[in-house]
A = this chain, B = another copy of it.
């Protein structure tokens, strides 16, 4: 089942104003940077973006924020972005902050047909406001609902023509769950190989979850906190 599309233009066809997008990545690690750059070019507006972070000023989702294409962010941590903070504090941008584990699990649930689950995270905090509380094992838990998106856009290291994906190191992060939760899932990959070249034991995201795959033109892979030791 060939899922290959020619390029980012073809991959992103159908993304329209007011849609909900999931975007993989943690910080700038494992983000679909080619797709994000093209979303800016497309100029789609009023997007709801589900992404653990919101990029930085001038890179990643920061680009979409600067061009004011985002109506609402659903994230766990947005601390690296001045423009984000400005838009949020001024009320231009709606923001829904979610505990990171709940965000990951809600995306997984969305892809797995689990409409809701109980978690202890956030009990007793403002995250729990308006949410059902139930005691399990003597501990209060809150009910969290699944998240899905019109499009999920993920970035993988290797992918094959059938849409099977392998991620590298910690660039895996949110990508596998989000890949399951998009009505249409788009994967941009560093290396695109023929079906059969990836070991079926090693595949992180089976192709069934991916509708379109393309080789990204250029991966800058910017590092947020270059931290080193001396030899």
Contact = CB atoms under 8 A, between A and B. Distances in A.
A67 to B, nearest CB: 33
A113 interface: yes
Contact of A113 (B109, B119, B134, B200): B119
Contacts of A120: 113
Contacts of A169: 200-201
A116 interface: yes
Nearest to A115: B136
Interface in A69-126: 105, 109, 112-120
Contacts of A136: 115-116, 145
Interface of A: 105, 109, 112-120, 134, 136-137, 141, 145, 166-169, 200-202
- Chain A contact surface mostly: mixed
Contacts of A167: 201
Nearest to A172: B201
A62 B187 CA distance: 45
11 contacts: A105-B112, A105-B114, A113-B119, A115-B118, A115-B137, A116-B134, A136-B145, A167-B201, A168-B201, A169-B200, A201-B202
* Closest A-B pairs by Cβ, 3 of them: A115-B136, A117-B117, A202-B202
B114 A116 contact: no
Given A168-B201, A201-B166, A202-B201, A141 B117 contact: no
A194 to B, nearest CB: 20
A168 to B, nearest CB: 7
B113 A114 contact: no
A116 B115 contact: no
Contacts of A105: 112, 114
B113 A116 contact: no
A168 B145 CA distance: 34
Contacts of A134: 116
